[in-house]
Amino acid sequence: MTIAYDAIASKAATSGSTTWTHTPVGTPRGITVFIHQIADQTDVVTSVTYGGVAMTRLTRIGNAGIALASSEYAYFLGSGIPTGAQTVSVTHSSAKNCSYESISYTASLDTTAVDYETLSADGAAPRGTNLSLGGNTCHVSLGYSTEHYALTQYAPLAGWTVRRETDHTNNCTGCETYDTVGTVDVAWGHDVSGETTRFFASIAVAVTELSFIPQIIMS
């Protein structure tokens, strides 16, 4: 079994530390959590757990130069994942308004994030560079937040599926997955119309199944 998208769960915007329930369809071998911090760039997320297991922060992106710009966080867990419905818990050092998504993946073995990139941009066509899959078969997802854009102005790039999008009046947030699970490097970014000077923050993550390395037992 190669890596595959399993399920998504979300938590509506709330202020401060929070929890929600993620219910996988299959047996999860990987979990990615995207956190969208609305209209604030302070780093306040101190920990994320899935079923009580600590997740690793991959990266964070924000822009302190724009008043209503948001921050994006990505966390990942690729081993020791409990089965069945589990609680996702996010702890804040101070109360900030955030919305959330968790994505689960199925695979035969444990998983790892082979590449992740951030995008901080203004303009109508913000683009990231290609995610480098390194020849690994990967599932790719992204989380994003915008300043002032409306959802009617926003469109994903070709080959991407919107899994969730929310209009927070002065900001929009969302999560997408790439339609193709494969080995070819993935171009990522966004199409936005009607604005040329608004802030856009996004994180893209490529997840693959770990290779099985047989052990040689000496007798």
Backbone angles phi, psi at 147, to 5 degrees: -100, 115
The pLDDT value given to residue 215: 44
Rounded distance between C-alpha atoms, residue 83 and residue 199, angstroms? 38
Blockwise average pLDDT, block size 10, the chain, 219 residues = 94 94 98 92 93 97 64 96 98 93 97 93 69 96 81 82 87 92 92 68 94 50
The pLDDT value given to residue 219: 42
User: Nearest CA to 16 among 73, 74, 92?
Assistant: 92
First to last CA, the chain: 32
Q: What is the pTM of this model?
A: 0.91
The pLDDT value given to residue 64: 54
Q: Contact 146/199 with Cβ under 8 angstroms?
A: yes
The pLDDT value given to residue 149: 66
Q: Contact 37/71 with Cβ under 8 angstroms?
A: yes
The pLDDT value given to residue 181: 97
